[in-house]
Structure 1
Amino acid sequence: MPQITVDRSPTLRLDRRPFAAELHPLVASVIGSPAADCKTRFRRIEEAFIGDGTPERAMVLLEIRLLAGRSAEVKTELAERVLALLEKHAVPEPGDELHLAVEVVDVDRASYRKSVSAAR
């Protein structure tokens, strides 16, 4: 179920496939689910305004949505390990200040539904 959204500044370099190839097994190992259940979407934001608007700043905001029920310790470990992975993969322009953030969000089990089907 993990649904991951990565929003990034337009000037930031992030090799999406290698990042996701490391991210999915990491998430799966921390929360105890199959990596095949992870889904990540990447969004290059049109414009970022950070702090006072100084243009030499870049950011990545990463959100991981999980079915509710995991402990605070598991969510903290997940956020810390994903942040370390982001630090490894996110490459700002020379001279830019890089802001990274990870948030783990609970999804209500009672209202969540999904469907998976093969092409016909």
Structure 2
Amino acid sequence: MPQITIDYSDTMENAFDREGYALALHEVTVEIAAAKPEACKTQFRPSTSTVFGYEDPGARGHAIVHVTIGLLAGRSDETKAQLAQAALELLRGHVAETAFTVHASAEVRDLDASYRRFDR
């Protein structure tokens, strides 16, 4: 915990400072949600297929980034909203200007009660 997953259009490959974003997001998550630094884990998942509205997908005029942060239960809705907003604000600083439109979103959710983990 926290489990952070970032799905993004592969058109952003050269415009998205993923490592810098993850490290900054870990700091904000520790600050806002009282997570432990060593517990923050981020996985990036590029998507080769992004479809936006009625646009021809081959036009590649749009890119999507969605940040999902899973936390152990117990944070208030206000804390979750504050963290989601901070995740979006940080994203602005880690995505370069592009010829395509970037659509970004973030959500913070509780991990299910069945969540378990191990380290090896």
Output the TM-score relative to the length of structure 2. 0.88
Q: CA deviation at 1:108?
A: 2.4
Of 103, 109, 115, the match for 1:99: 103
Instruction: Specify the alignment match of 1:46 in structure 2.
Output: 48
Residue-by-residue CA offset, 1:54-79 (whole Å, 9 max, x unaligned): 53111101110111111000001000
Structure 1 segments of 4 or more deviating over 4 A?
Answer: none
Gaps of 5+ in 1: none
For 1:18-57, list aligned pairs within 5 A. Answer: 18-54=20-56, 55-57=60-62
Q: Check conservation: 1:11, 1:92, Cα contact below 8 A.
A: no
Instruction: Specify the alignment match of 2:8 in structure 1.
Output: 8
Over the residues paired in the alignment, what is the CA RMSD in angstroms?
A: 1.3
Residue-by-residue CA offset, 1:12-44 (whole Å, 9 max, x unaligned): 121211111111111111111211101000111
> Tell me, what secondary structure is at the counterpart of 2:23?
helix
> 2 CA distance for matches of 1:37 and 1:19?
16
> Tell me, what secondary structure is at the counterpart of 1:89?
coil
The percent identity for this pair of structures is 38
Output the TM-score relative to the length of structure 1. 0.88
Q: CA deviation at 1:92?
A: 5.4
Q: Check conservation: 1:7, 1:43, Cα contact below 8 A.
A: yes
Instruction: Specify the alignment match of 1:67 in structure 2.
Output: 72
**1:62–1:76 CA distance, 2 compared to 1 (3 A):** same
Of 83, 88, 92, the match for 1:87: 92
> 2 CA distance for matches of 1:92 and 1:40?
23
> Tell me, what secondary structure is at the counterpart of 1:11?
helix
Deviates more, 1:52-61 or 1:65-74: 52-61
